[in-house]
Structure 1
Amino acid sequence: MVNLTKIYTRTGDLGQTRLVDMSVTDKTDPRVAAYGDVDEANSTIGVALAIGELPDPVRAVLAQVQNELFDLGADLGNPLATAYQFEPLRITQDYIDRLEHWCDEFTADLPTLRSFILPSGSPAGAQLHVARTVTRRAERTAWQAIQRYGTEPADEDQDRPGGINPLAVGYLNRLSDLLFILTRVVNGTEHEVLWVPGGDRHRAAGDDAET
């Protein structure tokens, strides 16, 4: 259980913050940016839930995802190490397997797509499109953290931070897929507006002008 007895601490006023392992880093660290983007993605999902209009199965999935995104933030904020004083909270393969199961489950009743979908629809569905794009950004930011720190634990004889759990980044990739699928479920495929590429769009406009 996490106890938050005081919300402000003033410890971050000089542009630094503490990671889960209590090490100090800059707030501009890509590791911090990554779990910040995850927090933003979680908040956008919260807006979709607050709007309503969601089928109960979708609402249940998103509620679980919100909790898992807190797990993910804790993972990204805790550098990999060869040993820990306390067992760390990590994203494991079963988290990703669960997302893939939901992807398959919700896709089963959807028609095949013939083009990309323009982000739109109901307020809740459009908000899930926002959540999808923020999740994609979180994935890119996490890869930037991997580019700096790698995916290996810190060596005890080297003064360098540990890397990033690659399964945490895999979770974000799969979550963005799930959110896209859920936008189709929430909006209803009969109302989907498909992308028409430039050349085809111009030809369609010409046909309309002739008629």
Structure 2
Amino acid sequence: MGMRLSKIYTRTGDKGETGLADGRRVGKDHPRIEAIGELDTLNSQLGLLLADLEEAATTWPALEEISEVLSPCQHRLFDLGGELAMPEYQALQPVEIERLEAAIDRWNEEVGPLENFILPGGSRLIAQAHVCRSLARSAERRCQHLNAVEPLRAEGLAYVNRLSDLLFVAARLIARRQGVAEVLWQAADKP
């Protein structure tokens, strides 16, 4: 995809519509645009997590592996956004889902079973991983909403689902490798 933008603004969206690669004009609140927007938000927050991980890895070198696994996810999210913008474009492959599953299994073995609900927190990195996880869930909901209107490829739906799982386990792994206790949920006292 060698497309280059020579001009950032076009004025074609000033009336609340945007163009898809197949030539269709849709409202900026169309389920397809909503899904693309959620993926973009997730990608931006994932970029922040990766920047923070890179900085933290100078103190905790064991965090580098997490960056190595998460870094390609930004590219795959961009691929998925491309698939949504150009319905005939197919970029995500099942091997990417398998890559996430292998990391989830490996990391989950290291952190051990979840014995209680945990809350986002403990460190900025842990909380940011949970922000990304919750945004992945939001993106998944938007993609499923679109899927009900205009069917999507199964690979994209599975990828976003698996990415949210990966980010949850990544948050737990960051806590473990930083030596930070997970913030355990405490139920309200019953009357």
- What is the TM-score when the length of structure 1 is the normalising length? 0.80
Secondary structure of the 2:119 match is coil
Instruction: Tell me which amino acid in the other structure corresponds to 1:197.
Output: A
Larger helix fraction of residues: 2
- State the alpha-carbon separation in 2 of the partners of residues 46 and 10 from structure 1: 28
Identity rate of aligned residues, in percent?
38
Contact 1:16 1:25 in 2 (8 A): yes
Pair 1:13–1:133, CA change in 2 (3 A)? same
2:85 to 74, 77, 81: 77
Alpha-carbon displacement from aligned partner over 1:72-107 (angstroms, at most 9, x marks no partner): 111122235xxxxxxx23322122111111111211
For residues 39-50 of structure 1, the aligned pairs below 5 Å read 39-50=40-51
Which ranges of 4 or more aligned residues in structure 1 deviate by more than 4 Å?
none
- State the alpha-carbon separation in 2 of the partners of residues 112 and 44 from structure 1: 27
Contact 1:132 1:180 in 2 (8 A): yes
Contact 2:123 2:180 in 1 (8 A): no
Task: Give yes or no for the alignment of 1:176 onto 2:177.
Answer: no
Instruction: Tell me which amino acid in the other structure corresponds to 2:171.
Output: T
The residue that corresponds to 1:165 in the other structure is 153
Contact 2:122 2:180 in 1 (8 A): no
For residues 7-156 of structure 1, the aligned pairs below 5 Å read 7-51=8-52, 52-54=55-57, 55-80=63-88, 88-149=89-150, 151=151
Secondary structure of the 1:25 match is strand
- State the alpha-carbon separation in 2 of the partners of residues 44 and 190 from structure 1: 22
Report the aligned-residue RMSD. Answer: 1.8
- State the alpha-carbon separation in 2 of the partners of residues 25 and 101 from structure 1: 38
Contact 1:128 1:182 in 2 (8 A): yes
Pair 1:192–1:129, CA change in 2 (3 A)? same
Contact 2:49 2:125 in 1 (8 A): yes
Alpha-carbon displacement from aligned partner over 1:95-154 (angstroms, at most 9, x marks no partner): 2111111111211211211111111121122111101101100000111111112x2xxx
For structure 1, the residue ranges without an aligned partner over 5 or more in a row are 81-87, 152-163, 207-211
- State the alpha-carbon separation in 1 of the partners of residues 161 and 174 from structure 2: 20
CA shift for structure 1 position 17: 0.8
CA shift for structure 1 position 23: 1.8
Which moved further from structure 2: 53-62 or 134-143?
Answer: 53-62
Task: Give yes or no for the alignment of 1:193 onto 2:183.
Answer: yes
- State the alpha-carbon separation in 2 of the partners of residues 105 and 111 from structure 1: 10
Alpha-carbon displacement from aligned partner over 1:40-73 (angstroms, at most 9, x marks no partner): 0010111112223251111112211111110011
Instruction: Count residues in correspondence.
Output: 181
Contact 1:76 1:165 in 2 (8 A): no
Secondary structure of the 1:17 match is strand
For structure 2, the residue ranges without an aligned partner over 5 or more in a row are 58-62
- State the alpha-carbon separation in 1 of the partners of residues 104 and 40 from structure 2: 22
Contact 2:97 2:158 in 1 (8 A): yes
- State the alpha-carbon separation in 1 of the partners of residues 167 and 77 from structure 2: 13
- State the alpha-carbon separation in 2 of the partners of residues 15 and 167 from structure 1: 30
Secondary structure of the 1:109 match is helix
